[in-house]
Amino acid sequence: MVKARTMAINGFAGCLSAKILFWLIAASNHCDPSPEIHLEAAERAVSFNMKIHEYQAKQILARYGVPVPKGEVANTFEEAQAVARKLFAEGAPGVVVKAQIHAGGRGKGGGVKVAKNREDAELHAKNILGMQLITHQTGPQGQKVQRLLIEETANIDRELYLGIVLDRAVGKLVFMASQAGGMEIEEVAAKTPEAIYKAVIDPAVGFGAWQARKLAFALGLKPTQINQAVTFFQSLYKAFLETDASLVEINPFITTKDDKLFALDAKINFDDNALFRHADIKALRDTAEEDPLEVEASKYELNYIKLDGSIACMVNGAGLAMATMDIIKYSGGNPANFLDVGGSASQEQIEHAFEILLSDKGVKAIFINIFGGILRVDRLATGVVSAARKLNVKVPIVLRLEGTNVEEGRQILKDSGLNFQVGATMKEAAEIAVKAAKEAA
């Protein structure tokens, strides 16, 4: 079972927090990592985690008293010029020009550049703004840089790591710290798990000062930095709680040559299910950074995540969607997406769902797996027939239908005269879909 679920999850491997959570928790628990990975993927499937930019995360953290370098966002070259000029005029020894995209690894990809004077800052701004930045998290196509953060440079002494995530195995938040900051933390967790210190937080008691102090000592901070660090860590925890975050990560968390502490980078993801009570945070969403198909799907309240396979899935219920992806994998295919049309999808939603599935050029077959409960099978069938006609669907459609009004549903498909293939069981339908996709490829 675990293996089956893990297979479906491989499709989610592009998700940063999933990977981090998986490695960090698995590594630090010294257990087989596979049970953890599907939980995070399932979470991503049923509840999206909204991402924001580094500059936005730093603005939030600053409100909680977390020290961040002085700086401002710039949407155009002229704005970047003005910010750099201002920082130098105020005495900055240098500025760092940072690409703002919803992905990490920007430094390695050429999206973070330090400048000692205004001319260099302008040169970097010109080069980075508008570039297609490729990092290990963007995929090979990269992400277009539409914003910059221009900050005063820090006189870095050490680069450390801080992170707060929910550990589902223990059902508590975990505060993590490591001396191996500034690099890919997934790698640290995989190769040297002992290099990550963690404090499990009891929700009834909160994050204790003693825990913060223990982490500060483990990081090898100087005596003069310990109290600052305790305040820093506690502010970070407070920010996590009060914003209903699902991930807070500071990589690197730095010490400076004059013994100060700063969040040099900042990443915050939010639990979508709590966004209704944070209108200010919801407003920070930048759809330009998201997959266009996922943005389109969210307009119709469809729970859609694009993946790289060739078999599109249309399913009702997140659990069934996970199982469907698993069975496609078992049958030798690859899912092109996760799509949960919900328990009570309307005909209109089903049509939109089809449009979204079909605009993915990698799709070679569609597998519709519906258990009719609140969403009756006949209504689904009517929606499918109408959408297939309207959109002139050419790719093979394979269905597996069960539940309320299943006979009526099958009849509607038969009477349509369209070429639907129906599998008697989930397994059979999956096999037909995999075969159809392979023939079409």
From the CB of 104, what's the least distance to ligand GDP, in Å?
Answer: 4
Q: Is 208 in the site for ligand GDP (CB under 6 A)?
A: no
Cβ atoms of 8 and 325 closer than 8 Å: yes
Asked if the bond preceding 33 is cis, omega within 30° of 0, the reply is no
Closest approach of Cβ 105 to Mn ion, in Å?
A: 8
Q: How far apart are the first and last CA of the chain?
A: 30
Taking CB positions, which residue lies at the least distance from ligand GDP? Answer: 107
Residue 317 interacts, among ligand GDP, Mn ion, none and using kind-specific CB cut-offs from 5 to 8 Å, with none
Site track 244-273 with ligand GDP (rule: CB under 6 A), x = hit: -------xx-----------xx--------
CB of 277 to ligand GDP, least distance (A): 29
* Smallest distance, Mn ion to C-beta of residue 182, A: 7
Query: Is 161 annotated as catalytic?
Result: yes
Q: Which of 43, 55, 151, 161 is catalytic?
A: 161
Q: Which is nearer to ligand GDP, 233 or 253 (CB)?
A: 253
| 50 bridge partner residues | 270
- Residue 131 backbone dihedrals phi, psi, to 5 degrees: -70, 155
Q: Which of residues 224-263 bind Mn ion (CB under 5 A)?
A: 251
E-strand spans in 257-405? 261-263, 267-271, 303-306, 311-315, 337-340, 365-372, 397-403
Binding string, 78-117, against ligand GDP, x = CB under 6 A?
Answer: ------------------x-x-----xxxx----x-x---
Nearer to ligand GDP by C-beta: 130 or 343? 130
Widest CA span in the chain = 79
Give the residue among 252, 243, 250, 253 at the shortest CA–CA distance from 284: 243
Closer residue to Mn ion, CB minimum distance, 98 or 364: 98
Q: What sign does the CA torsion over 393, 398, 403, 409 have?
A: positive
Is 249 part of the annotated catalytic residue set?
Answer: yes
- Whichever of 57 and 312 has its CB closer to Mn ion, that residue is 57
Answer for which of 265, 351, 360, 378 binds Mn ion (CB under 5 A) is 265
Q: Is 97 helix (H, G, I), strand (E, B) or coil?
A: strand
Q: Which residues of 79-183 form beta strands (DSSP E)?
A: 95-99, 112-115, 132-133, 143-144, 148-152, 156-167, 172-178
- Interface pattern 136-155 for ligand GDP (x via CB under 6 A): -----------------xx-
Distance CA 168, CA 163 (A): 15
> Shortest CA distance to 100 belongs to which of 309, 269, 286, 270?
286
Active site residue ranges: 161, 249
Residues in the site for Mn ion, rule: CB under 5 A? 251, 265
Residues in the site for ligand GDP, rule: CB under 6 A? 96, 98, 104-107, 112, 114, 153-154, 156, 159, 182, 251-252, 264-265
